[in-house]
Structure 1
Amino acid sequence: MSRLRVYITTRGAMLIVVLGIGFIFLWTIRSILSPLIWAMIVAYILDPVVDWMARRLRVRRVLIVVLLTLVLLGSLVLTFFAIRFILVRELRDLIFSIPRIAGDIQDYILGTQRIDIFGVIIDPNDLRSEISRAIQDNMSGLGRMALPFVVRAVGSVVPLLLFLISTFYLLLDFDKIGPAIVNFLPRRWRRDIIPLLRDSERVLGSYIRGQVFLILIMTVASWLVLTVLQIRYSLLLAIITGVVEIFPVIGPWTAGGIAVSVALTQPTALFNGSSTLLAIAVGLAYFSLRQLEDIFVIPNVVGKVMELHPLVVLFALTAGSYLAGILGLLIAVPIAAVVKVYLRFVHQKLIEEEQAEAREYHGADE
């Protein structure tokens, strides 16, 4: 049976130890890493823009980073003040409509007659009263939650500042990170590791930039569809649709379910006033958008670089959610894709080692 020969220098052994200690340390403080991870994602997305502007304008990188940071902050502030009144109004209306929506959905599913299930009598009116009471109890508790909410909001300023500062410095020195990693590696590793890092960068770049584009496309497209169909809270639902695109498989179904639920419980002048037909139209529209996304957008934007089986994606999402919550859901798929790149690399090295041993064996026989 062939054996894989591994040559480890002192520097290589130190590198492995440092990486192991670093991984343990990062895992210990994983709960506070979210701002840094978001900063790395944003810096990764904006780095090509900074490089292009620095070349075209022929100015120092630090000036471009400062200018771009100010422009982005200004754009975010202007956008927030432009849409905040619409969003606040739609969010408030949606929250206070939850009891009515729940009751309408119950009437649609159960009707108004008592139901006998194996001798157990279910009265829809009693069930509606219980649901409304539970929702109202939770709504009344919102006032008591105001102070803790304010405290958490103030506490979130620190992670926000950490995110902004980290993004600034990462953009400032992003072009130096790659060479620093390569210089730290033992020389005999570089011939193999550099292509591996490039493949990993290609996978991550394709995924992150593709997701940003998908968010923009789905937000605009769903807003247009919901506006044409005269769905309430169209802007809020469109933003939710775009944001949940970052959660593969789960996100699109969640967004479609929310939009259909709202359509099912609102009065409409379309389809002869039938909310059921309106909900079906919304469902078909979301299904069509998803199909167009899968056929035209994803192959051309993200490409086939991910090459992950749907079961692998589901397992990665489940594991990511269990280990790191929402952040785990965000990074599970790209991490799985990078792991696949590394496994392919190890497999290729094993094959090359077997072929080398076979050549040595046949050469010795001759």
Structure 2
Amino acid sequence: MEQKKIILPNVVKILVVLLIIISIVFIMIIGRNLLIPLLLAGYIAALLTPLSDWLERFKFSRTLSSVVALLTGLIGILGLLAFIGFQVASFTRDLDNVGDKLNTYLQDIEDFLSDKLQIETGIGEGIDKDSIIELLETNSGSVADVIFSTLGSVTSFLLMTVFIFFFLLFRSHLTKFVAMLFKKHDPENVKEKIRGLKRVVQKYIIGVFKVMAILAVVNTAILFGLGIKHAVFFGVLAGILNIIPFLGPFLGAILPTIFAFLTKDSLWYPFGVVISFQIVQIIESNFLTPKIVGSNVNLNAFITFLGLMVGSAIWGIAGMVVIIPTLALLREIFSLDESTKPFALLFGEEESEKTKT
């Protein structure tokens, strides 16, 4: 006896999809403190897996190789955070005369508006220097807060560390578990697809790190050439913030521009910073990222922008950092099955006629 297929009305299908989306967003908001460390740990573990595999070739046990790989990753993360923290705390010492310079600029603006446009704004009276220094120190400290907020609290960092260790330790076990979920498919084929997804994540993260390193060196060299103090800090910070598409390059140029404006005698220095960073950004977006990261992401601009907005609204800075590799991973997963390939097409870039041919 044939079973009758139940055909749902389109309105019901739409309501079911909306209900699923709302449920996922609700779970992401409620489980923020657990899901963010879990997702970050998964990406970091995927990056550290080749190191653990390499150690096991030299007769290291799975536990020992996982511990060594974890410690290597933690040393790198903590070293970077310590560098940023010390630099943020130290560069504010060069802001002693910012109040006088800013008041001079304000007085020039007041004179121009008064002479040319007959407008009295009162900004020429100046701003208290101590208030300016306090404001700059607060804002500069917020830069470190933004970076540390990606990992969250100390508890979240420790939780992420535990997750990384377990992901490395039980990576083969998790692969077998996923393969058993797809009983109708060849287990070896499923495992190969899982390894392919892992390679996508690894290549994306490594490619992003390469672009960040290149931008850090180039930005630092530019700032050194312009004579901007703390060029290493500003260059590295701009390279790190480039991980956030669209907004990252803009955020990375703000602080050195303001610092050059307040510490240099000429306005050509901040203009030089803005123009140089803009040129670097054009080269990065049109040459470096397409060549180095390549097709490992292959997300269209609309999905990328929408993902950034959703990630920022739900998880803040951490959401903006993890959303792009997550969307890239989802695109690869959707492309594995015929029923979900339309979603992969929606996420991906539009193919040109030459590519189709």
Aligned to 2:317: 326
Aligned to 1:336: 327
Contact persistence 2:56–2:62 (CA under 8 A): yes
Aligned to 1:125: 124
Q: Secondary structure at 2:54's aligned position in 1? A: helix
Contact persistence 1:316–1:332 (CA under 8 A): yes
Cα distance change, pair 192–87 in 1 and its aligned pair in 2 (3 A): same
Contact persistence 1:104–1:265 (CA under 8 A): no
| 1:47 Cα deviation after fit | 0.8
Aligned to 2:61: 60
The answer to whether 1:235 aligns with 2:232 is yes
TM norm structure 2 = 0.69
Cα distance change, pair 137–263 in 1 and its aligned pair in 2 (3 A): closer
Contact persistence 2:113–2:119 (CA under 8 A): no
Q: Which consecutive residues of structure 1, in runs of 5 or more, have no partner in the other structure?
A: 7-19, 143-151, 269-274, 352-366
Aligned to 1:48: 50
Cα distance change, pair 161–310 in 1 and its aligned pair in 2 (3 A): same
Contact persistence 2:220–2:234 (CA under 8 A): yes
Q: Which consecutive residues of structure 2, in runs of 5 or more, have no partner in the other structure?
A: 7-21, 140-148, 343-357
Alignment partners' CA distance in 2, 1:242 and 1:45: 19
1:1-366 correspondence runs (5 A):
25=27, 27-55=29-57, 57-73=58-74, 87-93=88-94, 103=103, 106=106, 110-114=109-113, 121-126=120-125, 128-129=126-127, 135=132, 156-187=153-184, 197=194, 200-267=197-264, 275-341=266-332, 344=335
Contact persistence 2:204–2:325 (CA under 8 A): yes
Cα distance change, pair 72–190 in 1 and its aligned pair in 2 (3 A): closer
Cα distance change, pair 349–267 in 1 and its aligned pair in 2 (3 A): closer
**Could you tell me which amino acid in structure 1 is paired with residue 160 of structure 2?**
F
Count matched residues: 312
Alignment partners' CA distance in 1, 2:42 and 2:341: 33
Between stretches 212-221 and 238-247, larger displacement belongs to 212-221
TM norm structure 1 = 0.68
**Could you tell me which amino acid in structure 2 is paired with residue 46 of structure 1?**
L
Cα distance change, pair 139–226 in 1 and its aligned pair in 2 (3 A): closer
**Could you tell me which amino acid in structure 2 is paired with residue 280 of structure 1?**
F
| 1:33 Cα deviation after fit | 2.9
- Bigger Rg, structure 1 or 2: 1
Contact persistence 1:105–1:265 (CA under 8 A): no
Aligned to 1:9: none
Alignment partners' CA distance in 1, 2:227 and 2:134: 31
Alignment partners' CA distance in 1, 2:55 and 2:195: 23
CA RMSD of aligned residues (A): 4.2
Contact persistence 1:101–1:262 (CA under 8 A): no
| 1:24 Cα deviation after fit | 6.3
